[in-house]
Amino acid sequence: MCGIVGAISDRDVVPVLIEGLKRLEYRGYDSSGIAVLSEGQMRRVRRTGRVAEMAAAAEAEDLHAGLGIGHTRWATHGGVTEANAHPHISRGELALVHNGIIENHEAQRERLTALGYGFESQTDTEVIGHLIHHHMSQGLDLLTALQTTTRELTGAYAVAVVSRAQPDRMVCARMGCPLLIGLGEGENMIASDVSALVQVTRRVVFMDEGQTALLTRDSVSLFNEQDREIEYEVHLSDVSLASLELGPYRHFMQKEIHEQPSALADTLEAVIDAGQFCHSMFGAKAEAILGEIEGVQILACGTSHYAGLTARYWIEAIAGLPCSVEIASEYRYREAYANPRHLIVTISQSGETLDTLEALKYAKALGHPHSLAICNVPESAIPRASELILYTRAGAEIGVASTKAFTTQLAALFQLTCVLAKQRGRLSASAEEEYLDQLRFLPGSVQHALNLEPQIMAWAEHFATKDNALFLGRGLHYPIAMEGALKLKEISYIHAEGYPAGELKHGPLALVDSEMPVVVIAPNDSLLEKLKSNTQEVRARGGELFIFADQDSCFEESEGVHVIRTPRHAGLLSPIVHTIPVQLLAYHTALSRGTDVDKPRNLAKAVTVE
Ligand code: F1P
């Protein structure tokens, strides 16, 4: 999704803006631009395509200034053109960047047209700049004009504005889209996320919904929805520069797949150190809230939704609580039945996914008093709107297709399950010890699964030539089959479906022929024999099988049956271990097909619009 960066400094901010935009590239974008105020002149460079092309153009135009804003655009209103790229300039006087969607832009466009404003783009954004310009022409200063404008907008936005009339400041506003302020020495900055700023500062202020801010070189003032100046808290970000660099890897996705043993170890550190499952890791109020709830409603999107689907098996079987899992964008628009004794659990890597955030707000409005966020980005919108929080400690995830966030979400959800079970007297001391042991071994099992990479690369060559693929799993591994299919379609653009293997003969078997590779996730669990019959149904129709089988699953290679042996059965944590091979398969297939692995077409990392 769109990314924003802005800086005001004694030094040239152009390199800060460019570097910031490069670090926001991972969010997904199709054009970029910067605007600077230099010697009283507003200067702008915009390009479709990569930030590097825009940066080269900025260099060619010799752009330097102490005040500027930059943007990576992910098209929503209007095609991918230079005219639609941000920053947008109003009458040569002020420049603006925007993330989000202005829902009443058509009405505002009519109003502004009547006031004599012309439009150069098809975006919803341009109305914001003209509205601010209009209010300034009525005598308001830049900040007040922005605050007045925000009251006339409906929708979601993070905006930053600079004006020729007040060249010593930058103003910004946040409603529904992320925005934070970075505090430097003799300079201040804004950005959509902290990765854009860590090159300059770690001291950040997270803006809240409805707030506006005024930045000069040496001061930052924050205002609430009523435009009253308020105090702010300064946080020290722990995002490291190393986590944002590729290192020896070819792609961030490859790096992040390989980081999973350490990401899991970090996420599990507290529980392993404590030697027990303890409610306190979810927050101060966790004991009372987790103790009193009678069910769980999980809300999430994409890969995070599949983590929820996996957790349902654990929560119902181990904790003995009813658990529903729903795609956030569906839940938020239906008249859902609310049981106030059910805990709302949101799962989100970014903590910014708009549908998940809105589903959480909707659940609260429906009468759910209790919520827990499982999230990878500290201080992001979803945990800030939740009562209880468990942060996964996967570190920055840059590849658009989620990998280490997913497996750490699963680890977090398993801990939640065990805490819920323990509080209900459903976790014996020996079971607790056994699960803790499984968690201790988990990073090692995941490393073992990573070692399968060379074998999986050979399979990937084959998949790269196909147009379709089926992924089958049963029980706990059915969501992993869906996750495997999602990974493959996201980054290799091969059409893939994940199915519960028992459902095969109710439809998808009609698709199976020699051109349809069928991936089977085959752990040695209680459903293994049933799964074996399902694979025979495939083979009998000429389908080629690619089976990820536990060491002791007893699948043999034969004509049309390929087997890769995964580590010994990891018990209830087996879905985590079995995720690794399907991630690697998707990665290497995409590599063979030459797609843009980290930035797949049409996709964005943080989906902050509907
Ligand atoms: C949800 C999600 C990711 C996916 C992609 C788009 O994000 O669907 O699972 O990989 O990045 O967004 P989140 O809510 O987990 O951040």
Which of 418, 450, 482 delimits the end of a domain?
Answer: 450
Q: Residue range 12-25: average pLDDT?
A: 95
- pLDDT at res. 529: 82
| pLDDT above 90 for 554 | no
Q: List Cα–Cα distances, 237 to 247, 283, 350, 373, 394, in angstroms.
A: 21, 20, 15, 19, 15
DSSP 466: -
Kindly name the residue from 2, 172, 177, 418 that is annotated as catalytic.
Answer: 2
Chain centroid offset of residue 559 CA: 41
Q: Residue range 186-203: average pLDDT?
A: 93
Cis status of the peptide bond prior to 87, with omega within 30 of 0:
yes
Evaluate: CB of 392 within 6 angstroms of ligand 1.
Answer: no
pLDDT digits (tens, 9 = 90+) for 359-401: 999 999 999 999 999 999 988 889 999 999 999 999 999 999 9
Residues 193 and 289 in one domain: no
Kindly report the protein residue whose alpha carbon is nearest to atom 5 of ligand 1: 605
Q: Within 13 A of 400's CA, how many CA atoms are on the CB side?
A: 26
Q: Is residue 396 part of a domain?
A: yes
Residues 419 and 566 in one domain: no
Which of 217, 244, 271 delimits the end of a domain?
Answer: 244
Evaluate: CB of 348 within 6 angstroms of ligand 1.
Answer: yes
605 classed as catalytic: yes
Residues 428 and 464 in one domain: no
Residues 531 and 580 in one domain: yes
CA pseudo-torsion sign 369, 370, 375, 378: positive
| pLDDT above 90 for 7 | yes
Q: In angstroms, how far apart are the furthest CA atoms of the chain? A: 81
Instruction: Render 239-292 in DSSP notation, one character per residue.
Output: --TGGGS-TT-S-HHHHHHHTHHHHHHHHHHHHHHHTS--GGGG-TTHHHHHHH
Kindly name the residue from 487, 489, 599, 605 that is annotated as catalytic.
Answer: 605
Mutate to test the pocket of ligand 1, among 26, 74, 299, 304 (most ligand atoms within 8 A of CB): 304
Residues 233 and 92 in one domain: yes
Residues 204 and 234 in one domain: yes
606: confidence class by pLDDT, cuts 50, 70, 90: confident
2 classed as catalytic: yes
- pLDDT at res. 429: 96
Report the CATH number at residue 516: 3.40.50.10490
| pLDDT above 80 for 610 | no
- pLDDT at res. 552: 78
Residues 354 and 240 in one domain: no
Q: Any bridge partners for residue 492, and if so which?
A: none
Residues 324 and 388 in one domain: yes
Evaluate: CB of 401 within 6 angstroms of ligand 1.
Answer: yes
Q: Is residue 223 part of a domain?
A: yes
Query: How many angstroms does the Cα of residue 216 sit away from the middle of ligand 1?
Result: 35
- pLDDT at res. 28: 82
Instruction: Render 549-585 in DSSP notation, one character per residue.
Output: EETTS----BTTEEEEEESSP-GGGHHHHHHHHHHHH
Predicted TM-score (pTM) of this structure? 0.86
The tally of domains found in the chain comes to 3
Evaluate: CB of 353 within 6 angstroms of ligand 1.
Answer: yes
Residues 121 and 184 in one domain: yes
Residues 402 and 524 in one domain: no
Q: Any bridge partners for residue 187, and if so which?
A: 9
Q: Is residue 606 part of a domain?
A: no
- pLDDT at res. 366: 96
Which of 223, 244, 265 delimits the end of a domain?
Answer: 244
| Cβ-contact 201, 191 below 8 angstroms | no
Q: Which domain holds residue 231?
A: 3-244
Reference 114, options 101, 131, 129; nearest CA is 131
Residues 374 and 284 in one domain: yes
176: confidence class by pLDDT, cuts 50, 70, 90: confident
Q: Is residue 146 part of a domain?
A: yes
Exposed, middle or buried, 316 (CB in 10 Å: 0-12/13-18/19+)?
A: middle
Q: Is residue 33 part of a domain?
A: yes
| pLDDT above 80 for 241 | no
Q: Is residue 462 part of a domain?
A: yes
Kindly report the protein residue whose alpha carbon is nearest to atom 2 of ligand 1: 302
Query: C-alpha angle with apex 339: 337 to 345, nearest 5 degrees?
Result: 100
Residues 524 and 582 in one domain: yes
Mutate to test the pocket of ligand 1, among 298, 299, 301 (most ligand atoms within 8 A of CB): 301
Report the CATH number at residue 211: 3.60.20.10
Q: Is residue 312 part of a domain?
A: yes
Q: Is residue 349 part of a domain?
A: yes
